[in-house]
Structure 1
Amino acid sequence: MSSEYRTGREGEFTYRGHTLDELQDMELDEVAELLPARQRRTITRGLTAQHEKLLETVRDADPEGTADNPIRTHLRDMVVLPSFVEKTFAVYNGQEFERVRVQPEMIGHYLGEFQLTRTSVEHGQAGIGATRSSKFVPLK
């Protein structure tokens, strides 16, 4: 993937009028002011010890190294911050860890939004003990 983002008028990514580099240079409180209300409240009320530990892990991680060795987490309620961009996370969906590569457009969302916990059900034929009417499969 290229490091250029073609989403703004000038051809670079912006989030509420700030470029990605400006966002990454800001303090957490300054970034929180730009986020939607729910995410802003989460940060201003204080992150849990687990969330703080994840932030430290992200700060210490090398972006190129996370593609091969993603940052594993159960914290689906962690807000995606500018420091997460271009890093790969392995987010737990209830059964397994699935990879999520954070893009700039994901800022302000939660990690869990990008890893679904429920799969679509595809029903097969009726099983043992089914009634005659439920065994009927129309031919088309």
Structure 2
Amino acid sequence: MSSDYRTGREGEFTYRGHTLDELQSMSLDEVAELLPARQRRTITRGLSLEHQKLLDSAREAGEEETANDPIRTHRRDMPIVPEMVGLTFEVYNGQAFQRVAVEPEMIGHYLGEFQLTRTSVEHGQAGIGATRSSKFVPLK
């Protein structure tokens, strides 16, 4: 199984043959050509107004570099582009905002992929009278 990103011999990150510095210097349309089909289609059809606002706020936060304030968003379907690397987002999972620190390996994925919306269910034992078969559970 081959991956689209890997670290080179020097430990330098590459995504489809391009370093992170090269990716960050590309325009959004050039980066879109490297992304997987679904993310590429999202960008080429045009980002919605909310997505564009999120991208603009990410660009502003990337220029400041001193501010460590996370960017809050409900946009779980925003594709991660190289401009977002190094920033922290607070993504809404349906109940609360959870922090997601964007790393280079996340390029090409969606923000929502890194914030789960469902919790795992841990079932206990059935109570008395819960089902017909529970009457055979030994009582203590």
TM-score (norm 2): 0.85
Q: What runs of 5+ residues in structure 1 fail to find an aligned partner?
A: 1-5
After TM superposition, give the deviation of residue 124 of structure 1 in Å. Answer: 1.9
In 2, are the aligned partners of 1:87 and 1:101 still within 8 Å (CA)?
yes
Partner of 1:98: 98
Q: What runs of 5+ residues in structure 2 fail to find an aligned partner?
A: 1-5
Whole-Å Cα distance in 2 between the matches of residues 120 and 82 of structure 1?
32
Letter in 1 for 2:86: E
After TM superposition, give the deviation of residue 64 of structure 1 in Å. Answer: 4.7
Cα deviations by residue, 1:16-70 (Å, 9 ceiling, x for unpaired): 111101100110000000101111000000000000000110011144523xx21
Whole-Å Cα distance in 1 between the matches of residues 136 and 95 of structure 2?
34
Cα deviations by residue, 1:89-126 (Å, 9 ceiling, x for unpaired): 00111111110000000000000110111111001233
In 1, are the aligned partners of 2:88 and 2:99 still within 8 Å (CA)?
yes
Whole-Å Cα distance in 1 between the matches of residues 122 and 135 of structure 2?
16
In 2, are the aligned partners of 1:126 and 1:135 still within 8 Å (CA)?
no
Whole-Å Cα distance in 1 between the matches of residues 96 and 135 of structure 2?
34
Task: Calculate the aligned-residue CA RMSD, in Å.
Answer: 2.0
Whole-Å Cα distance in 2 between the matches of residues 136 and 113 of structure 1?
43
Q: Secondary structure of the residue that 2:7 maps to in structure 1?
A: coil
Whole-Å Cα distance in 1 between the matches of residues 135 and 53 of structure 2?
53
After TM superposition, give the deviation of residue 133 of structure 1 in Å. Answer: 1.9
- Map residues 48-59 of structure 1 onto 2, 5 A cutoff: 48-59=48-59
The share of aligned pairs that are identical, in percent, is: 78
Letter in 2 for 1:16: R
How many residue pairs end up in the alignment? 131
Whole-Å Cα distance in 1 between the matches of residues 71 and 137 of structure 2?
47
